[in-house]
A and B are shown apart, each in its own frame.
Chain A
């Protein structure tokens, strides 16, 4: 459906050249909800803008249904874009127009008949559950309602693809969930292919079946959402997985423990990830018996990613250093994800202005 092949894009600013995309390849299939996650400055927004050529890549190909659109003329491009809806963080509605007129805008441009427009807009208003707000102006709506209007407007031309650029980042958690549910419903009902750029783990966890993790203009991991986050390989992905399990809580806990007991010399903080049926095995008691280490459980929880469970335990393990390593190795060979927490600073958000 959508394919990016080795796309590169750089900008010039006062301090020099910034490479926003350093050769990115991506394949989105029909009816995917594809998440692109990364910290700010990772290049995700540039990436999604390359799909409808709001940004022209310096090199590389953008294929839509198999045909390369990077070479198309302005008129061809306008035709192509009519088949791709897009929504934004700040909604980007026309302030001077009512909800009805905002949604009708792309239809008026295509000179649809008055009747056709009325019918289509009413249908879309119903779809996003805003039929009673047709005559309101955007300034009279809440953030969630504005985003619903934007979604309706993006769907006016019956696109097959919807691009979402941080569409829930300006919304509160509840509203975010309602927008995500709406996107999921659109995906299921209309078979809409959705590409979502976000820095919120929650968004990907809820609705994306595939994910690409971006860092520094590159995709560092991509694939099935559950697999990527249940078995994170790179630092950035590990940080996102950890954020699922409210790592902040653990840090506070550790501080308290340190205050009460004093820091133990040979103590490591580990984040253990249990995936699938293995979660049932009694690894912890086994480790304590076999390796003669002390394990204190700080915090545990289970999160659903793509409706499949990932178990998480934050533990402090202390004892002989060699034995700790042996224990860690044992857990790893058993298929438990072991991440040393204190070697995992999650403030790696690069401050690159794009």
Chain B
């Protein structure tokens, strides 16, 4: 069996240590970018919903400015966003390449997506329920935390899953321009040196990770739905 696998994936066997390193790098990039990107994106999503027409803190000007910024960033292809952000990235983390250099554009790339998905999830909450809460004399901040967020928890969780999957995609793309991680590994060996077995194994790995994230997320969302 082992012989067979070595024969099938000779380069993978040879560079197994490197592969493990790159997997770890991907986890680091996705983890850190996820924590920052999803936190900021969620907050902006809340801000977007709260400031919308008929929202708890209705504010047309703020809402339209925020909406336009989000749309603008979202419409820039990620590879170009990386290039566009080089100076900012260098200023923030001291380098524009490697794992550290990839995290900054990954955060910037994921925020608009998280913002829009959060907005979608929050819009699912019945406005009537919030009106009922207002009629009870409950403060707006309390309504946001205890109704808006809690009632949309299954939706938010699903958007969290999608965000992480997108981040894995972004990390691979960042890898291709010198960012480290599985994507970088695949490009460096699988693509540039024609080591097809490496390409295949990295694809299988990504599939596996994405599926695990997806099914864990689905199960959790299911449990929260009443």
Give me the interface of A with B, judged by CB distance under 8 Å: 52, 54, 77-86, 88, 90, 92-97, 105-106, 109, 137-139, 150, 153-154, 156-157, 163
Give me the interface of B with A, judged by CB distance under 8 Å: 126, 128-129, 131-139, 142, 146-147, 150-151, 153, 224, 226
Q: Contact check, B131 vs A96: say whether CB atoms are below 8 A apart.
A: no
Q: Contact check, A94 vs B138: say whether CB atoms are below 8 A apart.
A: no
Name the residue of chain B whose CB is nearest to the CB of A79: B137
- Please measure, in the bound complex, the distance between the C-alpha atom of A106 and the C-alpha atom of B146, giving whole angstroms: 11
A interface majority secondary structure: mixed
Question: Which residues from A are CB-within-8-Å of B139?
Answer: 78, 109
Question: Which residues from A are CB-within-8-Å of B150?
Answer: 94, 96-97
Name the residue of chain B whose CB is nearest to the CB of A80: B137
Question: Which residues from A are CB-within-8-Å of B226?
Answer: 95-96, 137-139
Q: With A95-B151, A96-B226 known to touch, is A82 a contact of B132 (CB < 8 Å)?
A: no
8 Å CB contact of B136 from A95, A97, A109? A109
The list of the 7 closest CB pairs from A to B, nearest first, reads: A81-B137, A82-B137, A92-B132, A86-B135, A137-B226, A78-B137, A92-B128
Enumerate 23 A-B pairs (CB-CB under 8 Å) in ascending A order. A54-B131, A78-B137, A80-B137, A81-B134, A82-B136, A84-B135, A88-B128, A92-B126, A93-B129, A95-B129, A95-B151, A96-B151, A96-B153, A105-B133, A105-B136, A106-B137, A106-B138, A109-B138, A109-B146, A137-B226, A138-B226, A153-B136, A157-B136
Question: Which residues from A are CB-within-8-Å of B151?
Answer: 94-96
Residue among A77, A78, A84, A153 with most chain B CB within 10 A: A78
B interface majority secondary structure: helix
8 Å CB contact of A81 from B135, B147, B153? B135
Name the residue of chain A whose CB is nearest to the CB of B125: A95
Q: Contact check, B132 vs A86: say whether CB atoms are below 8 A apart.
A: yes
- Please measure, in the bound complex, the distance between the C-alpha atom of A71 and the C-alpha atom of B128, giving whole angstroms: 25
Q: Contact check, B136 vs A94: say whether CB atoms are below 8 A apart.
A: no
- Please measure, in the bound complex, the distance between the C-alpha atom of A79 and the C-alpha atom of B136, giving whole angstroms: 9
Name the residue of chain B whose CB is nearest to the CB of A156: B136
- Please measure, in the bound complex, the distance between the C-alpha atom of A52 and the C-alpha atom of B138, giving whole angstroms: 13
In angstroms, how far is the closest chain A Cβ from the Cβ of B163? 21
Name the residue of chain B whose CB is nearest to the CB of A139: B226
- Please measure, in the bound complex, the distance between the C-alpha atom of A27 and the C-alpha atom of B24, giving whole angstroms: 71
Q: Contact check, B129 vs A52: say whether CB atoms are below 8 A apart.
A: no
In angstroms, how far is the closest chain B Cβ from the Cβ of A32? 20
- Please measure, in the bound complex, the distance between the C-alpha atom of A32 and the C-alpha atom of B134, giving whole angstroms: 24
